[in-house]
Amino acid sequence: MAAFEEKVLRARSELGLTQSELAEAVGVSLRTISDYEKGRKSPRQSTLLALAKALKVSTKFLSDPDCENPLEDIEKDGYIEEARERYGAAGAHDVDQLLEANKALFAGGDLSEDQKDVFFQAVMAAYVASKEEAKRKFGHKK
């Protein structure tokens, strides 16, 4: 079990990035990266996504002390980021919860990366369609 700060430091080192380079890639200050690596600070969800992307690991790996696979659930991160761009933090949270809750459908079965991606695409498409329909039905009238 490794803590968030250890995982950030290890992933950054493995990529050969300086703290300054990582800070620039994530869009935060050098001090913020230093604070992450010293365990003084934790990122917001949107920053966690940017950090994971820059480190080429999943948000699950960074945020779950029990997760030892740097790529575990990495396919979810793109969908969560898309939802955040479209619908803000609430949308990102909704998609994360939807994807996580629906993993139970595959109880015990392992899916290939392609199968997971098809599933996540379908869930995301259904989510976007429902949000757009709600906006059309209940949005502000001009």
Residue 86 included in any domain = yes
- Domain of 125? 74-138
User: Measuring CA to CA, which residue among 22, 45, 141, 139 is closest to residue 91?
Assistant: 45
Predicted local confidence at residue 50, as pLDDT: 94
What is the C-alpha to C-alpha distance for residues 31 and 125, in angstroms, rounded to an integer? Answer: 39
Q: Please check whether residues 85 and 35 belong to one and the same domain.
A: no
What is the C-alpha to C-alpha distance for residues 83 and 97, in angstroms, rounded to an integer? Answer: 12
Instruction: Kindly report, residue by residue over 21-75, the tens digit of the pLDDT.
Output: 999 999 999 999 999 999 999 999 889 999 999 999 999 999 999 999 999 888 8
What is the C-alpha to C-alpha distance for residues 117 and 120, in angstroms, rounded to an integer? Answer: 5
The stretch 86-108 carries a mean pLDDT of: 82
User: 80, 95 in Cβ contact below 8 A?
Assistant: yes
- DSSP assignment of 50-76, as one string? HHHHHHTS-HHHHH-TT---TTTTHHH
Q: Please check whether residues 9 and 59 belong to one and the same domain.
A: yes
118 has pLDDT over 90: no
What is the C-alpha to C-alpha distance for residues 36 and 141, in angstroms, rounded to an integer? Answer: 45
What is the C-alpha to C-alpha distance for residues 12 and 97, in angstroms, rounded to an integer? Answer: 28
**What's the total number of domains in the chain?**
2
Model-wide pTM > 0.75: yes
Q: Please check whether residues 79 and 133 belong to one and the same domain.
A: yes
Q: Please check whether residues 26 and 51 belong to one and the same domain.
A: yes
